Amino acid sequence: MRSVGLKILKNKLSEYVRLAASGETVQITDRDRVVAELIPPRAADAALTAEAQWEKMVREGLITPAKSPTGKPPPRKPMVPFDELMRELQQDREDR
Kindly state whether residue 7 falls inside one of the protein's structural domains.
yes
Containing domain of residue 24, as a range?
Answer: 2-59
Burial (CB < 10 A; 0-12, 13-18, 19+), residue 10, is exposed
Question: What is the tens place of the pLDDT at every residue in 49-74?
Answer: 888 888 888 888 899 887 766 777 77
pLDDT band of residue 45 (cuts 50, 70, 90) is: low
Domain contains 40: yes
Which CATH number characterizes residue 16's domain? 3.40.1620.10
Contact (Cβ atoms closer than 8 angstroms) between residue 48 and residue 30: no
Number of domains in the chain: 1
- Quick check: pTM over 0.85? no
Classify residue 16: in a domain, yes or no: yes
> Could you tell me if residue 28 is inside a domain?
yes
